[in-house]
Chains A and B, each alone.
Chain A
Amino acid sequence: MNGSSSDRAALSRRVVLQGIAAIAVAGVAGLRFDITTAFAAANDAYPEDAFKQKTEADAIKALYGRTAQASDKVKLDAPEIAENGAVVPVSVSSSLPDVTSIAILVPANPNTLAAAYRILPGTAAMVANRLKMAKTSNVIAVVEAGGKLYSATKEVKVTVGGCGG
């Protein structure tokens, strides 16, 4: 979605990212990593709302406030057939410049958003993790780069559900 609200969100994100270095985060070991009120922006605390969304569109909107376009510069690695839905290795990387976030969505799961990663300055646009998949589903990787969203999708077949079934 475009409009002033998303611009504000993007701007405050940038301010926060620059502010992170200034904040004595080292002193708050063990506490929740909410950024202090001086730089507080709703989308930099734990994105509770995004994790509750049930569709790809709603999750992306809740997390980033705009939509993503498919891009071949987002590389999504996931198996064709998961050995078991409880532990599906998924990795995402991107050659796009200025990547600030990577999110992974599994629409067929009870809640779509599986994980979101904040790529801070100096950090590579890459992440590997292991996810639960309740059943066969698309896996969508969304990369936020230069304020825009790019995505890649791959279907992963799941024959034994990852939720204890």
Chain B
Amino acid sequence: MTGLAMAAALIAAPSFAAPAADAPDPAADLKAFQKYFKDKFPKVKFEDFVNGPYSMDEGLYRQWKEKEEFPPYEFALDLGKELMAKPFKNGKTLADCFPNKGIGVRQDYPYFDTQQGQVVTLELAVNQCLEANGEQPFSYVKDEMAAVTAYMAFTSRGKPFDVRIPDDPRALAAYENGKRYFYTRRGQLNFSCATCHVQSPGERIRAEVLAPALGILNAMPIYRSEWSGMGTTSRRFTSCNSQVRGVPLKPQDEDYRDLEYYLSYVSNGLPISGPGARP
């Protein structure tokens, strides 16, 4: 009895550097992950975690609210809507590839495709659709891909993340791989994702206020002032790798997809807020 209770306590505690010997327990991870951030920021309303640095800093929050009055991602939204409905050479459309024509489904991505045996993110699904219909795939980092994912996110605004891990060892392995990636240090700066987004959210790295990892993908894709334009999850992952002076992987690399899988899963329950604006 005591042994079990202790084991349960160990799993529930934020023992992020836990050795691989522990049996993977995503549900417990999720609870621990969310508890960690709620405890660290007791004044932040749960659903506000999706606003990243804006929920961590008053001055940033006000600037963000001013811009949200007429947000800079408006153009991407219009383009995205257009692209979803634009017929391919074979007469089909992007919308046809998605459940419910792509409306209100973003919160279900990524998912583990048991047939393909891999994690399918929204961006991957878009390009798989294009290729399956004989069309040129979009670049993963911006422009059309950002526009389409922006529109799809917009139609899911408010819906809570609902990422599933099916009862399939490969899915569990992908989840664990994503988690491993998240906590592994890399690059000249020797930072892991957790170094900034778990250890130091709300604090500054140089001049930027760090976002908490909880809810960090809910606002994707984002219009970043830094980019003066839109960028996708792929863009953020690759540029983040470069910023810690590591070698970025190719967009939608397996590790990135697994990372997105992990990060999305542990943010289950938080509302989709995309597309978003960021510094």
Chain A interface residues (CB < 8 Å from chain B): 79-84, 86-89, 91, 128, 130, 159-160
Pairs A–B under 8 Å by Cβ, sample size 15: A79-B59, A79-B63, A83-B63, A83-B225, A83-B279, A86-B225, A86-B228, A87-B67, A87-B228, A89-B63, A128-B66, A159-B207, A160-B207, A160-B226, A160-B279
The chain B residue with its CB closest to the CB of A89 is B66
Dominant secondary structure at the A interface:
loop
Chain B interface residues (CB < 8 Å from chain A): 59-60, 62-64, 66-67, 72, 206-208, 224-226, 228, 279
A88 to B64, CA, bound (A): 10
Q: Other CB < 8 Å A-B pairs besides A89-B67, A130-B67, A160-B226, 11 of them?
A: A80-B59, A82-B63, A83-B279, A84-B224, A84-B279, A86-B228, A87-B67, A88-B63, A89-B63, A91-B66, A128-B66
Interface Cβ pair total, 8 Å cutoff: 36
The chain A residue with its CB closest to the CB of B65 is A89
The chain A residue with its CB closest to the CB of B67 is A89
A79 CB contact (under 8 Å) in B62, B224, B226, B228: B62
Q: Are B62 and A86 in contact (CB under 8 A)?
A: no
Q: Are A84 and B225 in contact (CB under 8 A)?
A: yes
A158 to B226, CA, bound (A): 12
Q: How far is the CB of A165 from chain B (nearest CB, A)?
A: 10
A88 to B225, CA, bound (A): 9
Given contacts A159-B206, A159-B207, contact A83 B64 (CB under 8 A): yes
Given contacts A79-B59, A159-B206, contact A84 B226 (CB under 8 A): yes
The chain B residue with its CB closest to the CB of A82 is B63
Dominant secondary structure at the B interface:
mixed
A82 to B279, CA, bound (A): 9
A40 to B279, CA, bound (A): 43
Q: Are A86 and B59 in contact (CB under 8 A)?
A: no
Q: How far is the CB of A30 from chain B (nearest CB, A)?
A: 21
The chain A residue with its CB closest to the CB of B227 is A86
A87 to B64, CA, bound (A): 10
Q: Are B67 and A86 in contact (CB under 8 A)?
A: no
Q: Are A83 and B66 in contact (CB under 8 A)?
A: no
Q: Which residues of B contact A160 (CB under 8 A)?
A: 207-208, 226, 279
Q: How far is the CB of A107 from chain B (nearest CB, A)?
A: 21
B59 CB contact (under 8 Å) in A81, A91, A130: A81
A83 to B61, CA, bound (A): 9
Q: Are B60 and A83 in contact (CB under 8 A)?
A: yes
Q: Which of B63, B206, B228 has most A Cβ within 10 Å?
A: B63
Q: Are A87 and B62 in contact (CB under 8 A)?
A: no
A89 to B65, CA, bound (A): 10
Q: Are B72 and A87 in contact (CB under 8 A)?
A: yes
Q: How far is the CB of A157 from chain B (nearest CB, A)?
A: 9
